Chain A
């Protein structure tokens, strides 16, 4: 399963790689990373059919996670549509509501709870 993680904080990358160390080692999950919405669209353009799940932060300079979500649903929604999970700040009701409207599949709040994320990934991959 290939997952695209979109976050403007570069240190998110080693964190994911370590948290999913075993899964990566067992070839269960493969990660791609993008540092911005624009970057993410670029990655999707090149390899969208492989990516089944996108995890995106909302709060990013430039193209926001919500805009990225809109683009994904418009341009990369060929079946099977990718699962999009948005990462929102704690208590950010407005973004939560907007992400729902724009077609997000699920939400995670910061700070990321990786145990919860792993459980969610299991349900989506089944």
Chain B
């Protein structure tokens, strides 16, 4: 019966060889395992047919036990542990057989069929284990493969996502840069619209400067003449006129100066410094610029400018060029609306743009009203959206109101309200906290 022990040992080693074949451990163990296989075969023939049955069983069991203990201890064969351990019952049975043969041969002889049966059973047990561990191994292998596949997939997806995230970040950066550029070009576009208005606004004070200085030169000549004639009173009267003229020259010089400064402020990249500002002055300045800007493009256009500036309004903290831009935008829109209406309305239509400044509660209110085309209900919600415009392509950027909204609501914690009736009027109300 010793054949089974050697066979078990032989098969164990074969299994180890087979399992290691595709692992990096194979070169380390190959020769040792192959040699031991041959050794087992040689041992079988050397021992099985030369010694007595009892000793034979003991030797075979000892050989198998040695192999098992060695393999069991070796970490490289850890995965085969279950299979290795399935061999131990056979070893036990072998020792029992050997001892029984040696020390209770009569008992053994009487029940040798049972002894053999137990041996075969222990051997079969190994194969039962072998089959199940094979199955488990296969399952483990499949699970490991799936895991590897999934991991690869996860890595791939992660890489994709990281790449997408980077792309999106780049796009966001680009969009921010584009937005800044758009804001700047909107400023420049509105400055372009202003040019004609500014030219007109500067031309007027300059004309006065020239005219008053010319007339003053004449007056000085006259004064000299009067003094020569001895008419002192007349000379003094002329001197008073000259003084008045010089004041006028100064006044108009400052007026031109203010316009140039306002223009520079308007074109400058946003500053966020708030300063106490006279809203009436600001509104008046931009109303005139806007009006003359439009008239420069359409010489036949004319409108009533009705200004109702509240008296004794407090100075309000604001970024003047930003709020100026909002006002300019509202005025431009108002003039555009009345101009459009004039194209279809009868000769009785009087285009009117109205500005109102008051304090209401803890707010400063600026109303810009026109009796133009009004805003249809269906687009009322959209007019504050960036890039929304009703003007023909190339005439409006669609950024004016959206920037105005940002300036008033985000920059000044204020509000913009709209009241409008299609075909009749539009009224924008800006509220700024005092």
Q: Which residues of A contact B (CB under 8 A)?
A: 9, 11, 14-15, 18-19, 21, 59, 61-64, 66-67, 89, 92, 94-95, 98, 110-112, 114
Contact = CB atoms under 8 A, between A and B. Distances in A.
A89 B206 CA distance: 13
Contacts of A89: 200, 203
A61 B291 contact: yes
State the 8 A-B residue pairs at the shortest beta-carbon distance, nearest first. Answer: A111-B207, A64-B302, A61-B305, A94-B299, A18-B215, A62-B304, A15-B211, A95-B299
B63 to A, nearest CB: 121
8 contacts: A9-B204, A9-B208, A14-B241, A15-B215, A19-B215, A21-B222, A59-B292, A92-B299
Contact of B300 (A21, A63, A98, A111): A98
Contacts of B212: 11, 15
Nearest to A15: B211
B367 interface: no
Contact of A14 (B207, B214, B244, B252): B244
B295 interface: yes
A11 B291 contact: no
A88 to B, nearest CB: 9
Contacts of B210: 111
Secondary structure at the B interface, as helix, strand, loop or mixed, is: helix
A9 B295 CA distance: 17
Nearest to A18: B215
B304 A61 contact: yes
Interface of B: 200, 203-204, 206-208, 210-212, 214-215, 218-219, 222, 241, 244-245, 248, 252, 291-292, 295, 299-300, 302-305
A112 B211 contact: yes
Contacts of B204: 9
B199 to A, nearest CB: 9
Contacts, number: 59
Contacts of A64: 302
A92 B200 CA distance: 12
A64 B304 CA distance: 10
A14 B245 contact: yes
B106 to A, nearest CB: 141
Nearest to B252: A11
B206 to A, nearest CB: 8
A27 to B, nearest CB: 16
Given A64-B302, A98-B300, A110-B203, A59 B295 contact: yes
Contacts of B303: 61
Given A59-B295, A89-B200, A110-B203, A15 B302 contact: no
B241 A18 contact: yes
Contacts of A94: 299-300
Nearest to B241: A18
A14 B248 contact: yes
B82 to A, nearest CB: 102
A112 B207 CA distance: 8
A11 B208 contact: yes
A63 B299 CA distance: 14
Nearest to B244: A14
